[in-house]
Amino acid sequence: MPIVKIDDTDFTVEKGTSVLQAALANDIEIPHYCYHPALEIVGSCRMCLVKVEGMPKLQVSCNTFVGDVPSDKKIDGKYDMVVSTQDELVQQEQKNMLEFLLLNHPLDCPVCDQAGECDLQDYAFKYGNAHSRFEEDKRVRPNEYLGSQIVINHNRCILCSRCVRFTREISGSSELFVEARGYNSKISVLEEKPLDNLLAGNVADICPVGALLSTDYIHKNRIWNLDKQPSICQDCSVGCNVDVFHQKDQILRLTPRENHSVNKFFMCDKGRYGFHRFEEIERLTVPMIMSEGGFIETTWDEAIEKTVDELNGAGKGIAGIASPFHTNEANFMLGRLVNGNVGTLPPITSEEINYPSGFRISGDRSPNRHGMNDVCPSIVDDFASAVERKDIRFLYLLDDGIDRELNELWKGMLEKIDFVVVQSYAMTDVSKCADIVLPGQAPFEREGTITNDMGRVQWLRPSVTTKGESRPDWEIPMLIQSKHAGVEGLTDVSSVMNEMGKDFAAYSDITFFRLGDQGLPLNGKAEE
Amino acid sequence: MATIVKSYEPTFWDRLYLPALAKGLAVTLKHFFRKKITIQYPDEKYVPPDGYRGLHRLNKYPDGKIRCVACEMCSAACPADCIHIIPGPSPWEDGKERFPVRFDIDLLRCIFCGFCEMACPEEAIELTEIYDFSNYTRDDLLIDKEGLLGVYELTKDTNYYSRPNAGQDSEALTSDKF
Amino acid sequence: MDFLGFVIICVKVLVVFSATMLTVLMMVYAERRVSAFMQGRLGPNRVGPQGLLQPIADGIKFLMKEDIIPAEVNKPIYLLAPAMLLIPALMTFAVIPFGSTITLFGREVPLQVADLNVGILYILALTSIGVYGLVLAGWASNSKYSLIGGLRSSAQLISYELAMGLSVVSVILLAGSLKLNVIVEDQQGYLLSWNVFKQPVAFLIFLVAVYAETNRLPFDLTEAEQELVGGYHTEYSSMKFAMFFTAEYANMVTAAALTVTLFFGGWDVPLLNETSMGALGAILSVLSFILKTAFFLFLFIWVRWTFPRFRYDQLMKLGWKVMLPLALINIFVTGGYLTLTSLR
């Protein structure tokens, strides 16, 4: 394997690796704009220039590859390539390139939403000149809508063409192109074909400056005010890795997080803007008991006592409804509570979309069907007839929290059962059928593991604090069960995972520590 | 090299201490008849010098538009964490595109260090010379955008304390004024 | 004693008592105003014209304050102590002549409440009794600060009472009597016949001792705030504290009056024979007494805001090693001089 020397340090790299990749992989910073690991290399920004020994001019490191050199031609008898990123010439060129990029770039960082995570701002600070020699008037163009969700500020654009390549290579829809040439060139769309595909939000993320902006986040806040929490998107069964940006328990935006086993670098707009769903829901924060006429608020102790009483009275006639929207831990505790007598609500589906780059938006809108099936193996498909057969008197329903219309069959069934416990975070149609409602957590409040449709277990971390008196979803069935059986309860979600591992071999060695932020594959172990 | 410093040998007269006592009494007596520096506060008001760091204000352009673009540099610079801004799109077509929808300063937390005006890229927030804005409730010391703009109107032309009727309205600046 | 004589005595007692109390009030005001002036401030000037009603406001404040009696104090003594300090302070004034004689209803009425044969001894005795108030207050409060304040005051008063008594002895030698009236009459005549010119050393010793006796700066170690919080009165509040306060100022008034009587010719106006001028003379003499006393009261305040406090060892050193020998030498010299002049 070739040996490359970058700034006095030797690295052994794969043949065909670019210098920029080799440097970035080893925490050597080379400034770059147009290079994006998911996109074709164009080498247009000229920011990643490095000095390569033996080459007369500076080279763009993103498009210079390390190869095997015959042993007699190796530099110092050892190296296949010797690169300097700190050379005086390189530093001067970086200054010059930044001065060019900043010729027409407005100094409106206070107004710009990219400020704080802007590559141009960072590099100008780190590598650039403090002053510009440009005395002419700057080129000023009005903002334009490229699609319903994306605005372009042409003044800030540095024409790296990441967005153009994204629409060509990843979404395959090719809406964006560079219009005109030279001084007049700008990113543009055709009037009859705006940037409205389901991946459009990604162009705002990959834009290294504040030129492409998502209307959802524009002028909302400053990036340094927000807390960033790695999490998992819960809007389909792909389970894209995301970063949740939130402030004061309010989510402001989601951005994709790199995970090459799941979503690579991107996420779809359904997931990206999906968190707004939870802003206007009728949130449940206290336990409620149905009495004549409506729900009455009650305390947890009372609610659990009543549930346990009913559970004792029902004897063997108990069943549960697991939910593919909940974590493995919640479903596992529910399965334990009802002795594996589990059904599920009708699934929510939409059309599956596949992009040429391999990016996929699943048709199954629930994030954890795979995991639910793993930890509740005896799920009955035709639950309604099973209820008839078994004389069910007590039903514990783990609600999806999705606002849906129940069909007549389900409604009739829920009415017929003596006592229905619904654990939910929203006042959905299902919750309204309950005799007692126990408030659980909303999606970004949950902690636990979820398994995506490819059998990858991922760590779902809480991004915002739990509202009101709501309790963790795994804790509520656990409390009821431990009171019912008269045993000591589990104390935290890790101990639930431990218990789960004892019952289901596929999950036996899964811990938060091992999952990390990239997750672990089950490799089909659950199906065996 | 060590040097020997001869200490002062007090004379008999010094050791008697009486002349020194008389000298001391003379000093205080001299001060007794001096002009007094007390300012009779509510009746006459101290006029702070330029650069005094008192109550904040939000500046406007001559055409009445708010200078602030809600960049939150002031709240980032604030060591007391007392500036709370909610940004939004500007209501003016031709101005800056950002605009503070809410701009609240918690005067109880503020330490009047002036970092906010130093951080401000638009020269929008400034500390004025107004120092007597105490109040009876905590709520009255949370100043909002309208209040800060009101302070601008009060102080934009002249020093607040050198206006013609300064000192005559002895009551402190009440919250409905700012 | 006939009825009229009794009435006259009662009136004199009333006049002297109220005059002392009024002066105390004025002193509280003057203390604050003068100290402010010396520091370039204005002091209290809001209550009444020029703030003259400030002492009344202070009095009302003291009356309205919550009267706290700490749980662990020795209650009877704790309650008694302020009175034990205040009463001797007010009683001392009885023997001080504050004017010459006036003729009322065909009687010669000396402007003095009681002309005791042992006037000076009476004063020395009463000031010594005042110490009990301080010490008992410090002890009964059951607080370390109060106790230290009380201990300090007892040690201080004993040390300086000696020097004070001895300095007065030389004055007595000159006058040949313990009666204050006689001492004043002895200084009648022209200016240089005042004792301050005949006995300058005795005057200085007396003046310094008086500051120590009244616990005023630079000798206020009994109530040194920085070390003792408040000294012997730390645990007192409301009117009981006000009594200590009043006693301190009453002591100052008496001390100033005594200084005037012993060394500055009392009610004497130099070069005038007040007794022979009838009512006018009496009025002039009282005015002269008031003016002289007022100066010494001002001196009290002036000194307080000029000099820093002595350290405790310095205080003791000054009392025992300087004042006492000096007073003894002074008596010896005075006695020697008198003996020599009488021999001739």
Instruction: Answer yes or no: are the C-beta atoms of A442 and A326 closer than 8 Å.
Output: no
Q: How far apart are CA A494 and CA A334, in angstroms?
A: 16
From A164, A100, A182, A155, select the one nearest A133 (Cα to Cα). A100
Phi first, then psi: give them for residue B2, nearest 5 degrees: -75, 140
| Contacts (Cβ under 8 Å, ≥6 apart) of A154 | A141, A142, A143, A144, A186, A187, A211
Instruction: Answer yes or no: are the C-beta atoms of C30 and C52 closer than 8 Å.
Output: no
Q: How far apart are CA C202 and CA C317, in angstroms?
A: 18
Q: How far apart are CA A24 and CA C305, in angstroms?
A: 75
Please say if the pLDDT value at position B116 is more than 90. Answer: yes
Three-state SS sequence of A278-328: HHCCCECCCCEEEECCEEEECCHHHHHHHHHHHHHHHCCCEEEEECCCCCH
Three-state DSSP class for residue A356 = coil
User: Are B98 and A110 a contacting pair at CB < 8 A?
Assistant: yes
User: Are A219 and B70 a contacting pair at CB < 8 A?
Assistant: yes
Question: Which pLDDT tens digit goes with each residue over C118-138?
Answer: 888 888 888 888 888 888 888
Sorted by where each begins, the domain ranges of chain C are 70-343
User: Are B98 and A221 a contacting pair at CB < 8 A?
Assistant: no
Instruction: Give the number of B-C residue pairs with CB atoms closer than 8 Å.
Output: 34
Long-range contact list for A18-24, CB < 8 A, 24+ apart?
A18/A61, A18/A62, A18/A63, A18/A64, A18/A65, A18/A66, A19/A50, A19/A52, A19/A59, A19/A61, A19/A62, A19/A64, A19/A65, A19/A66, A19/A81, A19/A83, A20/A48, A20/A61, A20/A62, A21/A62, A22/A66, A23/A61, A23/A83, A23/A85
B-chain CB neighbours of C39 within 8 Å are 31
| ipTM, interface predicted TM-score of the complex | 0.75
**Spans of chain A, pLDDT less than 70:** 524-528
Q: How far is A303 from chain B (nearest CA, A)?
A: 39
> Which pLDDT value is given to residue B170?
38
C-chain CB neighbours of B18 within 8 Å are 204
User: Are C41 and B36 a contacting pair at CB < 8 A?
Assistant: yes
Helix (H) or strand (E) holding C133: helix C119-140
Q: Look up residue B36 and give its DSSP letter.
A: P
Please say if the pLDDT value at position B171 is more than 70. Answer: no
Tell me the average pLDDT across B44-55: 86
Q: What is C254-284 written as a DSSP string? A: HHHHHHHHHHS-TTPPTT--GGGGHHHHHHH
> Which pLDDT value is given to residue A255?
94
Q: Look up residue B60 and give its DSSP letter.
A: B
> Which pLDDT value is given to residue C275?
67
Question: Which pLDDT tens digit goes with each residue over C220-238?
Answer: 877 777 777 777 788 888 8
In angstroms, the Cα distances linking C146 to C219, C224, C251 are 17, 11, 20
Three-state DSSP class for residue B14 = helix
Among chain A, residues having any CB pair with chain B shorter than 8 Å are 108-111, 115, 143, 218-222, 224-225
Query: Which amino acid, A218?
Result: I
Chain B: residue nearest A219 by CA?
Answer: B88
Question: End-to-end alpha-carbon separation of chain B, Å?
Answer: 68
Q: How far apart are CA A20 and CA A32, in angstroms?
A: 9
From C314, C330, C311, C124, select the one nearest C210 (Cα to Cα). C124
User: Are B31 and C303 a contacting pair at CB < 8 A?
Assistant: no
Q: How far apart are CA C32 and CA C42, in angstroms?
A: 9
> Which pLDDT value is given to residue A26?
92
Question: Do chains A and C meet with 3 or more Cβ pairs nearer than 8 Å?
Answer: no
Indicate the pTM of the whole model. 0.74
Please say if the pLDDT value at position B34 is more than 80. Answer: yes
User: Are B37 and C40 a contacting pair at CB < 8 A?
Assistant: yes
Question: In which band, very low, low, confident or very high, does the pLDDT at C1 lie, cut at 50, 70 and 90?
Answer: low
Q: How far apart are CA B167 and CA B171, in angstroms?
A: 9
Instruction: Answer yes or no: are the C-beta atoms of A355 and A338 closer than 8 Å.
Output: no
Chain C: residue nearest B35 by CA?
Answer: C40
A333 token code pair: 């505790």
Question: End-to-end alpha-carbon separation of chain C, Å?
Answer: 45
Neighbours of chain C (3+ CB pairs under 8 A): B
Please say if the pLDDT value at position B168 is more than 80. Answer: no
B10 CB within 8 Å of a chain C CB? no
User: Are B36 and C307 a contacting pair at CB < 8 A?
Assistant: no
User: Are A219 and B98 a contacting pair at CB < 8 A?
Assistant: yes
Chain B: residue nearest A113 by CA?
Answer: B71
B-chain CB neighbours of A222 within 8 Å are 71-72, 76, 87
Please say if the pLDDT value at position B111 is more than 90. Answer: yes
Neighbours of chain A (3+ CB pairs under 8 A): B
Helix (H) or strand (E) holding A459: strand A456-460
User: Are A222 and B98 a contacting pair at CB < 8 A?
Assistant: no
A110 closest CB neighbour out of B71, B88, B89:
B71
B69 closest CB neighbour out of A110, A220, A224:
A110
| Contacts (Cβ under 8 Å, ≥6 apart) of C242 | C59, C62, C63
User: Which residues 41-60 of C are in CB contact (within 8 Å) with B?
Assistant: 41-42
Query: Which amino acid, C136?
Result: L
User: Are A219 and B73 a contacting pair at CB < 8 A?
Assistant: no
Counting every residue written for chain A, the total comes to: 528
C38 CB within 8 Å of a chain B CB? yes
B-chain CB neighbours of A115 within 8 Å are 71
A147 token code pair: 């699609």
Q: How far apart are CA C33 and CA C43, in angstroms?
A: 5
Helix (H) or strand (E) holding C176: none
Q: How far apart are CA B32 and CA C46, in angstroms?
A: 20
> Which pLDDT value is given to residue B167?
46
